[in-house]
Structure formats: C-alpha cells, structure tokens
A = this chain, B = another copy of it.
Amino acid sequence: MTAASIAKDLRAAIRSGTYKPGDRLPSEAALMSNYGVARMTARHGLSMLKDEGLTVTRHGSGVFVRSFEPIVRDSTGGKAGESTVTAEIDETGAGLVVRTLAVTAEAEPSEKIRTTLGLAEGDKVTVRERLHLRERKPVLFATSYLPAAIAAGTPIADQEVGPGGTHARLTEAGHAPVRFREDVVGRMPTIEEIEELRIEPGTPVLAVTRTAFTKDGSPVEVSHVVLDAGEFMLRYDID
C-alpha cells in the first residue's frame, strides 16, 4: 500500500494548496528516504498523480503541479458568417491561430461519413483538415467532410476558403447550414493525437462530431473535432 499512500499524501497536499500549480513536488529520491521505499515504488506513486492529470513531469527537472486555464469554446455563440470553429472561440481564445493542413477536393468517404451525409455509394466528399494553435501549441484538430457535389469547384475545396469561411460559401451556394448537432465524448487520446496535439500524459481529449444541416434537414457537413481537454471548456447555451 505504499505507492498508493504516497500518491494519497501528495494528492491531499496538492488539493489543500500545500503545493500550488507550478510548484515542484518532492523528488523520487526524497520520497524514497521519506517513506523508506524502493525507487520504483516512489515512482509508481508519482505516476499515479500524472495519470490523474494532477502533475506534469519534466525530465531532468522534476515533477510539477499542473494548472488548468481553459479556452471557452462557445458552440452556440458564433456569429453567422464566420468560420465554423474560430467564431466559437470567445475572447479568452485570443491568440488562437488556425492552420489549414490539407484540403482534398474529392475523396472516398468512409462508410460512416457517407451515410451520415446521406450520400449514395460512389459519391465523393471534400475533406478539410485544420489545426488550431494556442501560443504555438496545437490544441484542436478538426476534419470536415462535405459532399463533393456541393463543395468541389467552390472555394471550399481551396486551401483558402475566403472571408466568412466554409459556412459563408455554403450559404452562397444555396446550402446554408442552419441547424447543428454536436455529439461529445470524452476519452483518452490515441498515440497519433498525443503526438499531433502534444497532449500531456493524464489528459483526455474531447471528441466532438458536429453535423450541419440545411433548412430542409439535409446534412451538408460533418466535422470531427478533437480537442485537448486540458485546454478547452465547451459551452452550450440552450433555450
């Protein structure tokens, strides 16, 4: 029970404010002598806190208490005509930079995307991949799928969508998105996501599947958005 009890003590100390965000915790060597345990045991105790997202370790430097200052992503507050995601970042998201990674005018959709968009077999989709950065750190990865029949040949299939973003182009093309559905799950990141978003150990991601519908109820866009849960809070205003 020693590794667990070391974790328990440190956890209590963090919660009570003995160690504040940014503070350094006792080193492994210190814990070994304080508790009279082997190094692996001290390590295990510390690794529990890391897995809980309470601490971050810096190789060669120490174990530090973590802080959480989320960007608020207001999914309902975006002014019409702005780009899907940037409009949703409120003022605390200042300094957020969007980088378009790749745009594919015509791609074969997965079975799931195809049925969600209500496409026939053989129909193609336009795929847009974007990365959002906060102070140089990537924090959000988004992939959008639109029917190629709608998007191909428009600026949506270009690297630069133009002012107002994808939604403005869809509106111009007579497919104005007016209703949205967001499905949110929380889970641990995949290895790819850990690398892509440089996610700290012990940090989950929020995976949002956002579907945009036109007035007549037909889906015009499906977006998979993966957010570093250590960086974001999702806000929904509901009537």
Contact = CB atoms under 8 A, between A and B. Distances in A.
A181 interface: yes
B53 A187 contact: yes
Chain multiplicity (copies)? 2
Interface stretch (A129-137, A162-170, A228-236): A228-236
Interface in A180-239: 180-191, 201-206, 229-230, 232-239
Interface centre among A53, A229, A235, A238 (most CB of B within 10 A): A238
Interface size classification for chain A: 35 or more
Given A179-B239, A239-B179, A51 B234 contact: no
Contact of A238 (B11, B70, B76): B76
A178 interface: yes
B236 A238 contact: yes
B236 A188 contact: no
A11 B191 contact: yes
B75 A238 contact: yes
A70 B185 CA distance: 9
A52 interface: yes
A182 B238 contact: yes
Q: Is the interface of A mostly helix, strand, loop or mixed?
A: mixed
Nearest to A189: B52
Nearest to A182: B236
B236 A236 contact: yes
A211 to B, nearest CB: 10
A116 to B, nearest CB: 14
A192 B236 CA distance: 27
A51 B44 CA distance: 13
A54 B54 CA distance: 21
Given A51-B51, A204-B204, A236 B191 contact: no
A51 B201 CA distance: 9
